[in-house]
Structure 1
Amino acid sequence: MEAKLSNIRLSTVVPGQMTVENTVHHLTNTDLAMKHHYIKAVYFFNNEFAELGLIISDLKTAMSHLLSRYFTVAGRIRRRPEDNRPFIKCNDGGVRVVEAESNTSIDEWVEMKHSDVSELAYRDHVLGPDLQFSPLLFLQFTKFKCGGFSVGLNWSHVIGDAFSTSTFVNMWAQIVNCKTLSHISISTKLQISERPSTFQNIDLVGNHWFNVNNTKMVTFSLHISSKNLDQITSKANAKPFQALCATIWKSLAKIRAQLEPKTVTICTYGSQKNEIKSQGNNQRVSKVVVDFTVSEASVIDLAELITVKQNNSDAMFYGETLTFVNLEEAKLYGFELKGHKPVLANYAMTGVGDEGVALVLQGPENYRGRLLTMTLPSDQPLERNSKSLEESIDNLGGSQRPKASKVPPISCRFEYFSAADKNAFVKEYATIRQRDDESVTKYLARFLRLAGFAGSSVGTSLEQAEKFKWTIHYRYRSILINEKFTDVAQAADAAKNIKMERQDFLASKSDGGKKRSRDGQQIQQMGQLNQQQGGNSGN
């Protein structure tokens, strides 16, 4: 089966309040240096999200309120007639919204796409060639067959960096959660500092802002567990970001052999990045240049060079040299909707140069560690590329080999737990039962969580569905016992339908035992019908 999207619909969301006429936002040289780059952000929510009562129109309404304050994001690019320099006209053009449905579960999508998030964040969006009509932001809502849901953003880097993206998303969540944003004030001209010596030679020509690569670029993610991260930092004698950069640099040098990268770019951020007033591109850029063989160097030496960052960069283009971006401090799991945080948040960068880029992000909150999302050049299939990098990282460090694993499915793979943990999970799964005070939704989440922890011992999806059917509360089990289900989600849906039918029946009893159908006609309830049939049988 191939992972596909269907039932795709497009719409536009504009600010809820009209922006003052002739409001403009002037782009700094740093902003314009980022014009070929786009940030893809995707937040995954499990099937509990469907129980929140939130619908896409609620998210759109909240976005409309947010755009009244983030009016720059709803604008369009224009050029000054005197020097052709681009700026943003805050004309309330709005952001484009894509709604789609997937033929897979979230776990299947992540596995099939090698954690590439681009298709869930409107892959094809770039600014131009009709620059003045191009939205600066695309949103994408995707529903999965497992009941899960994803929110994706395709964010034009020209309006802000990845920290600006995460801050924007977290403010959106605050509005959804009915929290006040009255304390937030965004001026027409945002306070963005521009270092005088940086980005002096900016290309202002052209209305189609995208990068053409000379080689195929592939995107994939690796998950480094907290245990393995401790081993890597210990081996490199450095903090996580520097240790991971050094490890990846050495690994890629081994893979590329004679073409090993001698120069890398390091992109970090200041400490005030979570303030809304800092919207824009405020990254600090430096380069590390070496004249020795990187593949033979120690990770300690490489990590030390990265920490010192001796050479300041006067230009920045992701992938012009191998680029490492530190997003450890970005609050990716601050996008909390009605008390539910995403089970996985992933960011990627597109429009990067041929040398590639590696983003170091927070790992999923339940697993800690780090998530590495990389876009790298490859003349090989993605599977071989990612596997080579995994093996190269695994082989560093001799007897203490940190294992880099692909991003875990949302239900969580067992491979991040010890043998003792697994045995405990297997035993708990063997005796699992739905509690009297536990809803079907909460039991489903607990069941899937244990099944994920227990690993392959839980059997196929059919076997898990059978297990779920026999362990659900007796009020459902007696009805479902003779039914066949292909997966657990299908069995859970059937139980929910039983619950709704019972609620309808109880509601009808309070109305004299009668219920009206949608066309207004009265219908007899099952209890009355059974009573009538019982009376007939006694005659």
Structure 2
Amino acid sequence: MQLILHMPHSASYIPKLTINERTNYSPCILDFYVLHIFYTTLPNFLFSLNMMKQNKSNRVAVRSKLTAVSSRPVNPGTIHSFTGLDHAMALHSVHVIFYYKEKLFSYFDLDPFRVCLSETLSLYPPVTGRIVRREVDGEWEVKCNDAGVRVVKATVATTLDEWLATADGAEERLLTAWYDMPHGDSSSWSPYRIQINEFEGGGVAIGLSCSHMQADPTCVTLLIKSWAETHRREPVVHPPSFDDLSNSPLTRGLNIHNTNTKSSRAYYEAKSMAAQTSLILKKMGTATFKFSNEVIKQSLLEIHQTCSVATPFDLLAALFWTRIARLKHPKSKSKHSLSICVDFRKKLLLSYGYYGNALHFSLLSLPDVEEKEDFRDVAEAVHYHVSSQGEGEFWSALDWFESRKEEGGQFGAPFRMYGPELTCMSMEHMVDFPGITGNKLLMNTAVFDKENRPVHVSYHVGNVEGEGLIMVMPALEGGLARMVTVTLPEEELEQLCQDEAISSFSSLNPIMVLSGTRRA
């Protein structure tokens, strides 16, 4: 999978600053930005030319880079500590891309759009910090030193509509600037990166990437949402909360930790042990399917005789699991198992702005799942597996992660949380997110201008290995409409995209976006 590194200006793209009647900045601010642009572009001139040659065939061309810092300095000595769960997620990264039909800004380097970003970053000290080793025990932590967030600007040589219709998952990743955390000194490595992509005709895509050790998809979505609210000069509805998980209302005076819940602990123990066995690396591909409100509504009515309380997630998880299982090797034992990932903020009464990872993985196994022509029973099994998980199950898992400290105080090595078995992530919690009026979806509230809502939002997880990943999320259409983003070995993905059971689902074809219809 090809990823873009952050790349600066080449000489031909060093911006020329002009002052006209629309410029609202004082001469001292302009001087600051001129110096900033000069010193961040000139030393990297040859590197930029070389990288632009390598990406000559791409429709995405990087034009400049800069560093955005918070508008208010962080208190000296501020540190953000990771939980055991955060540490375990370190091998993965999170990538979220918001697409907008209209242009959001005139010139980002001098635009209020960037000023609002700096104001937003003041609420998020770990975002502008750097991950370093703690001197006491060598454990990772974030030194909140306001070193800034890398921001890349790029142009896309096509329209937004054409891009959504023809780009594939690998090409879409070019809209995000990222490279994994280095093994050595990480003090200069930015754990967050933003890429602003301008399409022909005025469309814009904002790609935000971060280390999964820092945050989960909900955190990243809330960061973009907070930026949009700041731009509109409205209060930030869900500011970040950096409370310790142990301060959850469920633990204050209630002490309901259930360390005897063995299923979670045993599963995570087995998953960490499986990471010691090398997997056969396969080239992965990604495709996204959209199912309308009517399609999901009709399909739920059809399976309600078997499971009257089935949700869109239950339905789609069962559909894709049964179809993907048929693509696996006949002797594969893992195809009978599905790792289900859910968000536990609501279950544990955490602040919805909780900063960090609030994800729980559990294993559902069904024999002969690939032979089921009618997936109603599978949907019922998925529903009862997810709904039966209580607070004790989540706390048991969190306790297990915290107990993984080795001699000297360091947590055990991170492992593949998304894999080796097929994983299915539920993002149903984004549908009725508290504090959002009008029953709006969480991702649909990232509105920088009142008339310019996102037209599409993509979510990806980096370094997925093994059997693959299914992400079921709300579609911006609202109601019961859903999107399913599938990451599989390329050969299997190609077969899945041609699967008759999915293409004829509810007698209405799902819409496929970002699935690679473009041919070189």
TM bucket by the smaller chain?
Answer: 0.5 to 0.7
What is the CA–CA distance in structure 2 between the aligned matches of 1:264 and 1:318, rounded to whole Å? 11
Return the match for 2:166 from 106, 112, 116: 112
Alpha carbons 1:317, 1:353 under 8 Å: kept: no
What is the CA–CA distance in structure 2 between the aligned matches of 1:142 and 1:187, rounded to whole Å? 31
**Closer, same or farther: CA 34–235 of 1 in aligned 2, 3 Å:** farther
What is the CA–CA distance in structure 1 between the aligned matches of 2:227 and 2:427, rounded to whole Å? 20
**1:45 alignment partner in structure 2:** 100
Alpha carbons 1:164, 1:276 under 8 Å: kept: no
Aligned pairs (5 A) from 1:388-407:
388-389=498-499, 391-394=500-503, 400-407=506-513
Tell me which amino acid in the other structure corresponds to 1:144. F
Report which stretch shifted further, 315-324 or 52-61. Answer: 52-61
Deviation string 1:95-153 (CA, Å, 9 cap, x unpaired) is 1101001111112222232355311112x421113422211111000111121111111
Does 1:13 pair with 2:89?
no
Alpha carbons 2:322, 2:369 under 8 Å: kept: no
Which secondary structure state, in structure 1, belongs to the residue aligned with residue 213 of structure 2? helix
Which secondary structure state, in structure 2, belongs to the residue aligned with residue 392 of structure 1? helix
**Closer, same or farther: CA 280–357 of 1 in aligned 2, 3 Å:** same
Alpha carbons 2:241, 2:355 under 8 Å: kept: no
CA-CA distance at 1:229 after TM superposition: 1.5
CA-CA distance at 1:394 after TM superposition: 3.1
Return the match for 1:166 from 221, 227, 242: 221
The structure that has the greater radius of gyration is: 1
Return the match for 1:232 from 279, 299, 314: 299
Give the root-mean-square deviation of aligned CA atoms: 3.3
**2:342 alignment partner in structure 1:** 268
Aligned pairs (5 A) from 1:213-232:
214-232=281-299
CA-CA distance at 1:325 after TM superposition: 0.9
Tell me which amino acid in the other structure corresponds to 1:98. V
**Closer, same or farther: CA 298–365 of 1 in aligned 2, 3 Å:** closer
**1:356 alignment partner in structure 2:** 468
**1:534 alignment partner in structure 2:** none
Tell me which amino acid in the other structure corresponds to 1:157. H
TM-score, normalised with respect to structure 1: 0.66
Does 1:289 pair with 2:365?
yes
What is the CA–CA distance in structure 2 between the aligned matches of 1:358 and 1:224, rounded to whole Å? 15
What is the CA–CA distance in structure 2 between the aligned matches of 1:328 and 1:115, rounded to whole Å? 22
Does 1:335 pair with 2:433?
no
Return the match for 2:122 from 65, 68, 84: 68
The number of equivalent residue pairs is: 394
Deviation string 1:403-428 (CA, Å, 9 cap, x unpaired) is 2220399xxxxxxxxxxxxxxxxxxx
The structure with higher relative contact order (CA 8 Å, sep 6+) is 2
Which secondary structure state, in structure 1, belongs to the residue aligned with residue 138 of structure 2? coil
Which secondary structure state, in structure 1, belongs to the residue aligned with residue 340 of structure 2? strand
Return the match for 2:456 from 339, 344, 366: 344
**Closer, same or farther: CA 191–98 of 1 in aligned 2, 3 Å:** farther
What is the CA–CA distance in structure 2 between the aligned matches of 1:18 and 1:319, rounded to whole Å? 40
What is the CA–CA distance in structure 1 between the aligned matches of 2:229 and 2:270, rounded to whole Å? 37
**1:241 alignment partner in structure 2:** 313
What is the CA–CA distance in structure 1 between the aligned matches of 2:426 and 2:88, rounded to whole Å? 19
Tell me which amino acid in the other structure corresponds to 1:319. G
**Closer, same or farther: CA 9–329 of 1 in aligned 2, 3 Å:** same
**2:356 alignment partner in structure 1:** 280
Tell me which amino acid in the other structure corresponds to 2:70. P
Alpha carbons 1:29, 1:202 under 8 Å: kept: no
Structure with the largest fraction of helix: 1
TM-score, normalised with respect to structure 2: 0.68
Which secondary structure state, in structure 2, belongs to the residue aligned with residue 25 of structure 1? strand
Return the match for 1:251 from 300, 313, 323: 323
Which secondary structure state, in structure 1, belongs to the residue aligned with residue 114 of structure 2? helix
Tell me which amino acid in the other structure corresponds to 2:119. H
Deviation string 1:483-531 (CA, Å, 9 cap, x unpaired) is xxxxxxxxxxxxxxxxxxxxxxxxxxxxxxxxxxxxxxxxxxxxxxxxx
What is the CA–CA distance in structure 2 between the aligned matches of 1:362 and 1:226, rounded to whole Å? 10
**Closer, same or farther: CA 359–140 of 1 in aligned 2, 3 Å:** same
Alpha carbons 1:76, 1:133 under 8 Å: kept: yes
Does 1:370 pair with 2:493?
no
**Closer, same or farther: CA 53–180 of 1 in aligned 2, 3 Å:** farther
Tell me which amino acid in the other structure corresponds to 1:44. Y
**1:304 alignment partner in structure 2:** 380
Does 1:91 pair with 2:145?
yes
Return the match for 2:196 from 119, 126, 141: 141
What is the CA–CA distance in structure 1 between the aligned matches of 2:313 and 2:243, rounded to whole Å? 35
**1:326 alignment partner in structure 2:** 426
**Closer, same or farther: CA 290–203 of 1 in aligned 2, 3 Å:** closer
Alpha carbons 2:60, 2:154 under 8 Å: kept: yes
Alpha carbons 2:226, 2:237 under 8 Å: kept: no
Identical counterparts, % of pairs? 23
Q: Which runs of 5+ in 1 are unaligned?
A: 205-210, 410-539
CA-CA distance at 1:15 after TM superposition: 1.5
Deviation string 1:339-390 (CA, Å, 9 cap, x unpaired) is 121111111111112211111112133796111111112246x6x345234x
Deviation string 1:432-484 (CA, Å, 9 cap, x unpaired) is xxxxxxxxxxxxxxxxxxxxxxxxxxxxxxxxxxxxxxxxxxxxxxxxxxxxx
Alpha carbons 1:167, 1:276 under 8 Å: kept: no
Deviation string 1:227-260 (CA, Å, 9 cap, x unpaired) is 2222332344321001100000011112225147
Q: Which runs of 5+ in 2 are unaligned?
A: 1-55, 252-256, 273-277, 305-309, 402-415, 431-441, 516-520
